[in-house]
Amino acid sequence: MSEFEVLGSEVQWNGKFLRAGVERFRHRDGEQVSREKVWHAGAVGIVAVDEQNVWLTRQPREVVGADASLEIPAGKLDAPGESPLQTAKRELAEEIGKRAGSWKQLFAFYTSPGFTDERVWLFLATELSDSGPAEADENERIEVVRWPLKRLDAAISECEDSKTLIALLWLAARDRLT
């Protein structure tokens, strides 16, 4: 049994891919609380590695004023009926021009569970091969970066994106994680 129940959800703003509003809850001890909430469809991120490199991107992130944010390939879950793994496969081909022979889910986490239900599924993609050119139309500002694993520390220092920090720190720690 859950520690609280949802009393009601009130969407007060409808964007194209976000909604915002207030949700009310009642805890088992009777206390009622309200939480501001941003509804989000979720996203995937891909840790694409070969023996020597991890495949990254640079792209503008206008919302935070970043000209060229260093990030793993990623994308929103915006195709109806598509699973996170299917989205990850599609995004790896579109953004990087690669396919992977092996896929493994590493994490599923909330980017900021205090106010948004955005969840990110993070996959490890290995046994990479070319799948054709990256699709230029919607990705024309996405630069593909082949980053040497021996310079992983420098990527961790530069990165300001949570899903990418999780990916890079996982790579740095993977030998000692079970």
List active site positions. Answer: 140
Find the shortest distance in angstroms from Cβ 22 to a copy of itself: 7
Which residues would be at the binding site for a copy of itself (CB under 8 A)? 2-4, 12-13, 15-18, 20-23, 25, 27, 33, 35-38, 40, 43, 60-69, 76, 107-120, 141, 153, 156, 159-163, 165-166, 169-170, 172-173, 176-178
Angle at 157 between CA 111 and CA 102, to 5 degrees: 60
Q: Which is nearer to a copy of itself, 130 or 151 (CB)?
A: 151
Q: Which is nearer to a copy of itself, 1 or 81 (CB)?
A: 1
151-161 burial, b at 16+ Cβ within 10 Å, e below that, comes to: eeeebbeebeb
Picking from 68, 46, 89, 77, the residue whose alpha carbon sits closest to that of residue 158 is: 68
Q: Which is nearer to a copy of itself, 127 or 169 (CB)?
A: 169
Q: Which is nearer to a copy of itself, 85 or 152 (CB)?
A: 152
Find the shortest distance in angstroms from Cβ 52 to a copy of itself: 17
Residue type, 84: P
Determine the length of the chain.
178
Find the shortest distance in angstroms from Cβ 11 to a copy of itself: 10
Picking from 103, 3, 102, 97, the residue whose alpha carbon sits closest to that of residue 44 is: 103
117: number of Cβ within 10 Å? 15
How many Cα atoms within 13 Å fall on the side-chain side of residue 94? 15
Q: Do the strands 43-48 and 119-130 form a parallel or antiparallel pair, or are they unpaired?
A: parallel
